[in-house]
Amino acid sequence: MDAMNGTKKHGGRPPFRKAYSFALITLALFLLSWAAQFITQMIEVSNTAEEHGQAFTWSEFIPQFLSATFENWQSEFLQLVWQAAGLSFLYYWGSSQSREGDDRLEAKVDALLRERGIDVDAIDSEVVDRLSAARS
């Protein structure tokens, strides 16, 4: 039992449901929305068939459902790819959060530390050591 957060650790790792909670929730939401699409589209196709005096058939419904599903996925994935690629490009290209902004901020902090007589190189070494220890 981990005293910090009350969870059991398995070989130093958190339990599966905690380690993958975001993915599990996303999967559950995906499956719920896909089931809702299936049901509503089935009702719509059934009503349309009834209006035309025809019987509902799975052989006509399944291709329509898959077509609508792939259209939705294509739209969503294109949007997601643009957001990821576009934001990373804009972030790199000159956003106020880009690396150049970080360098400028770090230079200001270093200047303030030197002004107060604090050894900046010693702090940098300490930070590198902490990061190395945390990664191993």
In this prediction, residue 39 has a pLDDT band, given cuts at 50, 70 and 90, of very high
Q: Are residues 90 and 111 in the same domain?
A: no
22 shares its domain with 69? yes
The answer to whether 8 touches 15, Cβ cutoff 8 Å, is yes
Is the same domain home to 30 and 80?
A: yes
47 and 112 assigned to the same domain: no
| Domain region containing 90 | 1-95
pTM: 0.51
Number of domains in the chain: 2
Instruction: Verify that 41 and 77 share a domain, yes or no.
Output: yes
Range in 10-19, 39-48, 90-99, 101-110 the model is least confident about: 90-99
What pLDDT, on a 0 to 100 scale, did the predictor assign at position 132?
A: 87
Distance CA 27, CA 29 (A): 5
The pLDDT assigned to 5 comes to 54
| 5 and 49 assigned to the same domain | yes
List, as own/partner pairs, every contact residues 82-85 make where C-beta atoms lie below 8 angstroms and the sequence separation is at least 24, other chains included: none
- Buried-exposed string 11-32: b where 16+ CB fall within 10 A, e elsewhere: eeeeeeeeeeeeeeeeeeeeee
Let me know whether 7 and 35 are in one domain: yes
Question: What's the rounded Cα separation, in Å, for the pair 67 and 64?
Answer: 5
